[in-house]
Amino acid sequence: MADHDIIMEFTGVSKAFGENVIYDDMDLAIRRGEVLTVLGRSGTGKSVMLRMMLGLLPADGGSIAFDGQDIVDLDEVGLLPIRRAIGMVFQNSALFDSLTVLENIAYPLIERGIEDEQVIAERVAEVLQMVGLPGIEDMLPADLSGGMRKRVALARAVAESPSLMLYDEPTTGLDPPNVRRICDLILALRSSLALSSVVVTHDLPSAYRVSDRLALIADHRVALIDDVQPFRDSAVPQVQSFLHAMDVDPTGEVR
């Protein structure tokens, strides 16, 4: 695959915290426009991977390239344009409780130096429309349901027009209707905004629904990355062990 088809690539990446090895010679390539879901048992480094993509944690060895640029040795100033090009939806939504929905979504725009209140208001209205929550600019996070907070967090993440979106457990704690709504939004935003997406989740039915490819982290590296059906059919021992631990039947439903 040509380099221009890859938006982010880990090559020979190692990462450890003291004697706790997270990654050892780990390779991973994320294709432009795809939804890649990263699976793995707790403690295998899925959230560490997301933080490394944002430059919040450095690699101990190897390279991490975004749009062909190695970000491992960039300082905070050099990382700014990288972080602006990468949106992040945190597991707990990470909204500011004391700010309105408008102020929450406007925050990264103001940080980027946009000062025109009309421009900001129009962008906030636009992204709220994208996530199906028009007209709630004056509400506070405390007034929102869990599903609404997640969608506001998603609106804030797309406000800066990123090219890569990272989702950390996007459906955790949501009821089935909101799980479906978030899955639909991941796919709709990928389509309408040409977003590349990385999803970290334990929700296998949702992973099967939204993903172009699945990657399993095991034994300090990517044990398998493949399209959804070949992944589900794989005889790779780590994959079979993981799916068995999740107690998944062949349809992808968790029993």
| Whether pLDDT at 66 is above 80 | yes
Specify whether the backbone of 95 is left (phi greater than 0), alpha (psi in -120 to 50) or beta.
Answer: beta
- Reported as a single tens digit per residue, the pLDDT across 202-217 is 899 999 999 999 999 9
pTM: 0.90
Given a cut of 50, is residue 255 above it in pLDDT?
A: no
For residue 81, give the H/E element and its range.
helix 76-84
Domain spans in the chain, listed from the N-terminal domain onward: 32-55+76-246
CATH classification (class only), 32-55+76-246: alpha beta
Does the pLDDT at position 199 exceed 70?
A: yes
DSSP string computed for 17-51: ETTEEEEEEEEEEEETT-EEEEE--TTSSHHHHHH
pLDDT tens-digit series, residues 24-48: 999 999 999 999 999 999 889 999 9
Q: Residue 249 above 90 pLDDT? A: no
Which pLDDT value is given to residue 253? 52
Whose CA is closest to 125, among 134, 112, 116, 117? 134
pLDDT in the model for residue 90: 86
